[in-house]
Amino acid sequence: MKPEEILTQVLSGLGLNANELSKKLGYKRPEKLYKILRGQAQAISRSIVYDLLKIYPELNESFLLSGDGNIFKSNSESRTFQNNKIGNYNSGVNKGNQNVVMGEKMDVAMDDEIKYSAPLEMQISKLKEDIDSLKKELKNKDEIIKSKDEIIESKNEIINLYKKQLKG
């Protein structure tokens, strides 16, 4: 398997893009990963594999180096979800007799069965990050609303002053 295919599947399995993964790995710039994705690398370097395994120990080293085996070490955490969309967490979709490989973009109908093999801890961690991000966004929006409410109140005070001047 080509390095760009391996990295694409890893990104999909982790539910991240190259820039997000680069930040999680502590890289200042995502160029190392983009070089691989553009097909400009003959392999994923051992240092990148080491960095990935340090942050995501559930990844399969053999898969990272050669594309052999599964992305994750164990499928024991594999779960089946019905009537739901899992987004980037799915490693394959079973639609009747048709299996779709991870990394392909597709919409799944609500009654299709979705299987994924991402470890539960990784999913929980990703969901917690999403929740934290949404909380920060909500806090920022609340501050904006508060600021706009204060502006409205001050404008209402100005309007009331003008009304008094017009009556008087």
CATH architecture for the domain at 3-66: Orthogonal Bundle (1.10)
Q: Give me the pLDDT at residue 129, please.
A: 86
| Ranges of residues in the chain whose predicted pLDDT is under 70 | 75-119
Please tell me the distance from the alpha carbon of residue 14 to that of residue 3, in angstroms, as a whole number.
16
Residue type at 104 in one-letter notation = E
What does residue 95 show for φ and ψ, rounded to 5 degrees? -115, 95
Q: Which residue has the tokens 């999403």?
A: 130
Does the predicted model carry a pTM greater than 0.85? no
Residue 144 CA to residue 122 CA, distance in Å, equals 33
Q: Would you call 91 exposed, middle or buried from its count of C-beta atoms within 10 A (0-12, 13-18, 19+)? A: buried
pLDDT in tens, 105-141: 333 333 344 444 456 777 788 888 889 889 988 998 9
- Residue 119: predicted pLDDT: 67
Amino acid 7: pLDDT: 95
CA distance 99 to 112: 12
**Cα gap 48→64, rounded to integer Å:** 9
Backbone phi, psi, residue 72, to 5° = -100, 150
| Cα angle, residue 101 at apex, residues 87 and 25 outer, rounded to 5° | 60
Quick one: pLDDT at residue 83? Answer: 30
- The full set of domain ranges for the chain reads 3-66, 79-120, 121-168
